[in-house]
Amino acid sequence: MFYREAGDFKTTYKEDNQTFPIAFDRYRYWAVLAVAYCVIPFMINDYWANAILVPFLIYAIAAIGLNILTGYCGQVSLGTGGFMAVGAYACYKLMTSFPDVSIVIHIILAGGITAIVGAAFGLPSLRIKGFYLAVATLAAQFFLVWMFNKVAWFYNYSASGQISAPERLVLGAPVTGPNTEPWVQYMIALVFCTLCAIIARNLTRGSLGRSWMAIRDMDIAAEIIGVNPLKAKLTAFAVSSFFIGISGALFFSVYLGAVEVGEAFGIQKSFLVLFMIILGGLGSIFGSFVGAAFLVLLPVLLKVIGVDLLGWPTDLVSHLRLVIIGALIMFFLIKEPHGLAQLWRVAKEKLRLWPFPY
Amino acid sequence: MKDTVEPYVTDDGRTIGDVMLDLRNITLRFGGVEAIKDISFDIREGEIRAIIGPNGAGKSSMLNIISGFYKPQEGEVWFDGAIRPPLRPYQVAQQGIARTFQNIALFEGMSVLDNVMTGRLNHMKAGLFRQALWYGRAEQEEVENREAVEKIIDFLEIQKIRKTPVSRLPYGLKKRVELARALAAQPRLLLLDEPMAGMNVEEKEDMSRFILDANDEFGTTIALIEHDMGVVMDLSDRVVVMDYGRKIGDGTPDEVRGNQDVIDAYLGVSHD
Amino acid sequence: MSADFLYGIEVIINGLMAGVLYALVALGFVLIYKASGIFNYAQGVMALFAALTLVGIMEGQVPFAHLINAVFGTEIHHFGWEVPALLAIGLTVVVMVIFAWLVQRFVFRHLVGQEPIILFMATIGLAYFLEGVGDLMWGSEIKTIALGLPQGNARWLEDVTATWGGDDFYGFFVRQLDVVAAIVAILLVTALIIFAQYTKQGRAMRAVADDHQAALSVGISLNFIWVLVWSLAGVVALVAGVMWGAKSGVQFSLSLIALKALPVLMLGGFTSIPGAIVGGLIIGVGEQLFEYTIGGPYLGGATENWFAYMLALLFLVFRPQGLFGEKIIERV
């Protein structure tokens, strides 16, 4: 009854183009932002920050990035882990080489560097399509991980091969290093996430987004219509890598504090983010959030139920997690290839008519 | 039939101008198969040119050559009086050539409105960073082009379905959306590959009306492949007939209708 | 002949051995892809699962022991019997056939006609699922395969060739296991090729690979062929799993072999059986040779991690359909 469009007419194209045409959605969006910015920072504790909210926000950025490349532009990439590593190591080198510059600048620059690397690895996409491209991105994944392992310059010649983030302050509060408070971690991740989501939304609803989707749906027809495939594909790789690089930089500096490239950014990471966008919904910014939330919450939930409630051993629970995630992937691909975001959309459609059936 | 290339005015008041597209001695091969053998014809500005012939004659391949998708092994394409160098298809589109496809090539993941908006891509100049910020130039451009697209949507009477995902549309409407997308580009030359295929009489009348109106109101030159002889004879100013990759007729509809080779081709009399 | 050159030859021989095993895994992919257009990422996990099942049956393990113990508070682990190798192999084959049937019935039958990327992602989900099930059934500790396969080096080869080089050369160092693996792989590949070319079912399989509709119209049951193909892939997975497992123990890393098979397929084309073989050999030799000549001395080693992919990538840029794949002509 309350979720209605009746009487809500748009009189300009500008109004028609907005992200949330239905008024109720708009209020909901502002409400979520209000809670996120004004309520949670005061209530957050270490567990919630580190186990749930901060990884959720950071993975959401990566999921948005991969969704742009794979969901909107149709270029399958299995190199997400490697590109996150580029962001992390770029951030590390910048932080240690220019210790006086704000970490915020470093993170953005790290994103830019990853964008360039991503565009370079995206060049083969002009000749190779589909699976072959996915496998080519594996080349990027394995090569990058090997490189960050072998070339000692990247980890400043430290003996352990690990990189750890030195303490940095933003507006007087430490965001990296051991003295960081959970709400600061949360806020910086939140700010980056909001900005990335807004930029992604703008790009995907304009002509660039349409050319990406045209390439995805029918790349030959797209080119005949006038889409420059080189420009479209390379910008998709670049923009996607920009977000993934930022995510990697945040993952390293704010979330983990120290990483070893093989375990933090290996191929499992690439699959994890890919699962997020499949489950959440390909070609949907909202879906990226849903998928990230799902795959961050699921292991926590399973652990709480399995280990804390039922008293099962942890390795059993982690095996079950594999089974459940695998089964869910297959289930969603069969039943709803457009992911949870589509289910949400269908639910909203029904809600618009409620209590009438049709 | 006007042998000279001077502009003339037709009986119904349209102006046919100079030669816009000139195909000279085009030969196209796929491996050992010669799909098109030494074909030459031209298309004049403002006219409606039909390309007809039995299935497999090479008509769609001809359109693909004009679009720049296939590169002929021999022959030249002249556009606006100058030889056209080998161009990528999107560059050909930028020159003002748009088309529809035999098997519908709409972008199934987008709505009708978005599909037609992709036709405006060459008119939208805002770059990556402007679009990322959205406010200002990018948004303004979006609104301007939306207005242009809405005019096309009105013209083709598809207002009701503008937000519908194209995958849900019936065949006839999909063809109309494809036409809208092509017209949205405001092309100089519009290539239509069997626009009437699979339509009933009423739909064909609608489509014919749209094609005529596009030519009349917007001045768009049209080249169309079509099998329905009634449509061809009624709509077109001149006709090219192809069979087995060769040109077997070229002239006004009446001239072509009386051509014995053309009659033989359609009746199935075998050639050498 | 100099010792270095002969060591180079040894590297090549070892590369060929590795290549044969790569080819074997790649073959499983080609079978399924040819018949159904599905790129089965789970092939590697199938190899792991098959090997785990074999060991589990042979040692008389109770399946899902861990889970049952957790739920019911029991302490059972083994049935107490041991199953002889041949019978165990037979039973494992039966398990793989059941698996093929289940996968076909519950997953891929519902995904007919979907885009390749959706199918691919479904197989990734299947891989995770199967890995979890394998762990739940048999436990995730490293297992050893006691099939009586010979360990140690091929002494006879070493002794014979020791005299070829100078004093620095001690003879070709090749493990007996690798030799056995290579022979088994060659036999299996030959059997598969004969099956595909000369039997009625093999012909039906190739028909399905070419055109589903046409195959249906001549009365071939798509479901049957798909179950057959997945079963064959399961058998191939079993052999590959046993061979690799005998080399380095049956553990999770086995499933990563699948990733190695991908560059093989990129080189050889996804639809060609001879391509899988040639591709496997090229990658196997190329990898070892690169590491020996350039990777080890100049790049710090461990280049096998990525060399295969780079090689395949370069290849693809110049020849997108691989060595043997069909040329893709795009039509509008």
B75/chain A closest Cα distance in angstroms: 21
Q: Flag whether pLDDT at B98 surpasses 90.
A: yes
Give the residue, C25 or B202, on which the prediction is more confident: B202
- How far apart CA B65 and CA B28 sit, in angstroms, is 9
Residues in B touching A195 (Cβ below 8 Å):
none
- How far apart CA C134 and CA A133 sit, in angstroms, is 30
A10/chain C closest Cα distance in angstroms: 37
Q: What is the mean pLDDT of residues C115-128?
A: 84
Q: For the segment A25-50, what is each residue's pLDDT rounded down to a tens digit?
A: 788 888 888 888 888 888 878 888 88
The beta-carbon neighbor of A323 closest among C117, C136, C300 is C136
Task: Verify whether the Cβ–Cβ distance A207 to B110 is below 8 Å.
Answer: no
- How far apart CA C2 and CA C23 sit, in angstroms, is 31
Q: Where residue A2 falls among pLDDT bands split at 50, 70, 90?
A: low
Q: For the segment C213-222, what is each residue's pLDDT rounded down to a tens digit?
A: 788 888 888 8
User: What b/e string do you get for C294-326 counting C-beta neighbours within 10 Å, with b at 16 or more?
Assistant: ebeeebeeebbbbbbbbbbbebbeeebbbbbbe
Q: What is the mean pLDDT of residues A132-144?
A: 85
C213/chain A closest Cα distance in angstroms: 22
Q: Regarding beta strands B238-243 and B48-52, do their DSSP bridges make them parallel or antiparallel, or are they unpaired?
A: parallel
Number of domains in chain C: 1
Q: What is the mean pLDDT of residues A315-338?
A: 85
pLDDT of residue C329: 56
Q: B105 CB contacts (<8 Å, ≥6 apart)?
A: A218, A220, A221, B178, C332
pLDDT of residue C163: 62
Rg from Cα positions in chain B: 19
Cα angle C328, C329, C332 (rounded to 5 degrees) comes to 130
Highest mean pLDDT: which range of A2-11, B238-247, C3-12: B238-247
Residue C124 lies in a domain: yes
The answer to whether B185 faces chain A, any CB pair under 8 Å, is yes
Highest mean pLDDT: which range of B28-37, C271-280, C288-297: B28-37
Nearest to C70 by CA among C143, C139, C16, C153: C139
What rounded mean pLDDT belongs to chain C? 78
Instruction: Say if residues C259 and C44 touch (Cβ distance below 8 Å).
Output: yes
> Residue C85 belongs to what domain range?
31-260
Residue C225 lies in a domain: yes
Residue C329 lies in a domain: no
Q: For the segment C174-204, what is each residue's pLDDT rounded down to a tens digit?
A: 667 777 777 887 888 788 878 877 888 888 8
- How far apart CA B244 and CA B56 sit, in angstroms, is 7
What rounded mean pLDDT belongs to chain A? 86
Q: Where are the domains of chain B?
A: 1-96+187-267, 109-184
pLDDT of residue B267: 65
Residue C22 lies in a domain: no
DSSP state for residue A125 in the 8-state scheme: G
B255/chain A closest Cα distance in angstroms: 34
The answer to whether A220 faces chain B, any CB pair under 8 Å, is yes
Q: Where residue C151 falls among pLDDT bands split at 50, 70, 90?
A: low
Q: Where residue A329 falls among pLDDT bands split at 50, 70, 90?
A: confident
Q: For the segment B66-91, what is each residue's pLDDT rounded down to a tens digit?
A: 999 999 999 999 998 899 999 999 99
Q: For the segment B131-186, what is each residue's pLDDT rounded down to a tens digit?
A: 888 777 888 888 889 999 999 999 999 999 988 889 889 998 999 999 999 999 99
Q: For the segment C75-113, what is each residue's pLDDT rounded down to a tens digit?
A: 777 877 777 878 888 888 999 999 999 998 888 888 877
Q: Give the A:B interface size as CB pairs under 8 Å.
A: 105
Q: Is B201 in a helix, a strand, or coil?
A: helix
Task: List phi, psi (to 5°) of B50.
Answer: -100, 145
- Report the percentage of chain B scoring pLDDT > 70: 96
The tokens 């009105």 sit on which residue? Answer: B154
- How far apart CA C40 and CA C287 sit, in angstroms, is 24
Q: C118 CB contacts (<8 Å, ≥6 apart)?
A: A333, A337, C111
Q: What is the mean pLDDT of residues A70-82?
A: 92
Q: What is the mean pLDDT of residues C258-282?
A: 81
Handedness of CA A221, A222, A224, A230 (dihedral sign): negative
- How far apart CA B199 and CA B189 sit, in angstroms, is 24
Residues in B touching A214 (Cβ below 8 Å):
107, 110, 118
Task: Verify whether the Cβ–Cβ distance A199 to B132 is below 8 Å.
Answer: yes
First to last CA, chain A: 13
Both tokens assigned to A100: 């006086």
Residue C203 lies in a domain: yes
Concatenate the DSSP letters of all residues of C154-191 into one string: -HHHHHHHTTTS-TT------BHHHHHHHHHHHHHHHH
Residue C307 lies in a domain: no
Residues in C touching A311 (Cβ below 8 Å):
70
Residue C313 lies in a domain: no
pLDDT of residue B2: 43
Q: Flag whether pLDDT at B1 surpasses 50.
A: no
CATH number given to B1-96+187-267:
3.40.50.300
